[in-house]
Structure 1
Amino acid sequence: EYLPAVTLTENTAYYLRQGQGVVVAHTPASLGRIRLYGPMGQFLGLGEVMDDGKVAPRRLMSVN
Structure 2
Amino acid sequence: MGGKVVRELREHGVPVRALVHHDDDRAAALRAISGVEVVVGDLTRERTWWRPWRDAAEPTSG
Question: Which structure is higher in strand share?
Answer: 1
